[in-house]
């Protein structure tokens, strides 16, 4: 399912199906958008960013179940996919980065060096992932897991928050070295300090929402507008069932999704 079809730096917007939470007028005709792809079993968003001139591209959080769709799209658009990056070692689905490397020559996988997972590129805070004249800067945002990163586009017009910040929510902190205190700090110091109108794209949404902004979340996030003490209490009492695939997904994602696939 694709909601907005766009290649970074090109004005080409196709908005269909579900709505964004933010005022649509804010998007404006000159806005840039990533290609947004959705995997419906795990409600995961995969993002594809490309430089129009050079065709160099980056994919964020691709999912095993939608590997063929994503590879086909990359080929149809004639992109030179350079990096497939995971925002963290996912617990709810298996990444497709390992198998995607086998289908796309020259593709490198990437994940935080704090994730404990194997990949071609072990990302550090401040590192840049370059595609054509653009880059994503890695901001470490631990708390959901130790190895969570937020990827910020060079002009700070958009950021990909993984599970650190979800729309009107945030990643759980009850497994994989989760820590509500660290997550609170990460979001307040490393995401909420981005420009108010910076678009935020999460790794999941369970309610049909597609994007938000820093300003909206600073004002309306029901968890992160609380003080630290209240936030910790909320997170310690979520009582969510474990993701159904956690026992297969985590070991598989520690080896780029290639475990027993």
Ligand X SMILES: N[C@@H](CCC(=O)N[C@@H](CSS)C(=O)NCC(=O)O)C(=O)O
Q: Is residue 163 close enough to count as binding Fe ion by CB under 5 A?
A: yes
Tell me how far apart the terminal alpha carbons of the chain are, to the nearest angstrom. 24
Q: What is the smallest separation between the CB atom of 137 and ligand X, expressed in angstroms?
A: 23
Q: How far is CA 90 from CA 22, 42, 70, 105, in A?
A: 27, 11, 18, 24
Nearer to ligand X, 116 or 243 (CB): 243
Q: Which of 92, 127, 205, 217 binds ligand X (CB under 6 A)?
A: 92
Which partner in Fe ion, ligand X, none is near 215 (CB below 5 to 8 A by kind)?
none
Q: Is residue 202 close enough to count as binding ligand X by CB under 6 A?
A: no
Distance CA 232, CA 239 (A): 13
Q: What is the smallest separation between the CB atom of 37 and Fe ion, expressed in angstroms?
A: 17
Q: What is the smallest separation between the CB atom of 167 and ligand X, expressed in angstroms?
A: 11
Q: Which of 37, 91, 164, 191 binds ligand X (CB under 6 A)?
A: 91
Counting beta carbons within 10 angstroms of the beta carbon of residue 16, is it exposed (0 to 12), middle (13 to 18) or buried (19 or more)?
A: exposed
Q: What is the smallest separation between the CB atom of 144 and Fe ion, expressed in angstroms?
A: 6
Nearer to Fe ion, 163 or 216 (CB): 163
Residues 6+ apart with CB under 8 A from 60: 34, 46, 47, 48, 49, 85, 86, 87, 151, 160
Q: What is the smallest separation between the CB atom of 154 and ligand X, expressed in angstroms?
A: 27
Placement of tokens 């590129």 in the chain: 121
Q: Where are the alpha helices (DSSP H) in 59-142?
A: 67-76, 97-103
Which residue from 244, 43, 254, 36 is spatially nearest to 147, judged by alpha carbons?
A: 254
Binding piece for Fe ion, criterion CB under 5 A, among 13-21, 61-69, 157-165, 186-194: 157-165
Residues 211-250 that bind ligand X (CB under 6 A): 240, 243-244
Residues 139-178 that bind ligand X (CB under 6 A): 163, 169, 171-172
Distance CA 70, CA 107 (A): 13
Q: Footprint of ligand X on this chain (CB under 6 A)? A: 42, 91-92, 163, 169, 171-172, 204, 240, 243-244
């Amino acid at each position: 399912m694709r909601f907005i079809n766009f290649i970074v730096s090109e004005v080409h917007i196709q908005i269909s199906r579900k709505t964004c939470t933010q005022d649509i007028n804010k998007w404006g005709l000159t806005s840039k958008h990533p290609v947004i792809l959705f995997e419906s079993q795990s409600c995961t968003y995969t993002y594809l960013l490309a430089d129009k001139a050079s065709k160099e591209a980056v994919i964020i959080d691709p999912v095993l179940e939608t590997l063929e769709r994503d590879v086909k799209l990359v080929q149809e658009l004639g992109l030179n996919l350079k990096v497939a990056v995971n925002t963290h070692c996912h617990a709810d689905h298996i990444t497709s980065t390992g198998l995607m490397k086998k289908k796309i020559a020259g593709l490198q996988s990437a994940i935080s060096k704090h994730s404990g997972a194997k990949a071609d590129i072990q990302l550090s805070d401040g590192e840049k992932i370059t595609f054509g004249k653009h880059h994503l800067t890695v901001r470490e945002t631990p708390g959901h897991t130790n190895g969570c990163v937020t990827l910020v586009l060079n002009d700070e017009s958009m950021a990909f928050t993984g599970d650190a910040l979800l729309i009107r929510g945030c990643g759980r902190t009850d497994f994989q070295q989760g820590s509500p205190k660290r997550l609170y700090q990460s979001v307040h110091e490393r995401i909420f300090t981005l420009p108010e109108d910076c678009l935020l794209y999460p790794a999941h949404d369970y309610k049909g929402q597609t994007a938000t902004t820093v300003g909206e979340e600073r004002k309306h996030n029901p968890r992160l507008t609380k003080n630290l003490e209240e936030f910790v209490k909320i997170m310690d009492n979520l009582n969510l069932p474990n993701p159904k695939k956690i026992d297969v997904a985590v070991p598989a994602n520690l080896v780029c999704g290639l475990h027993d696939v």
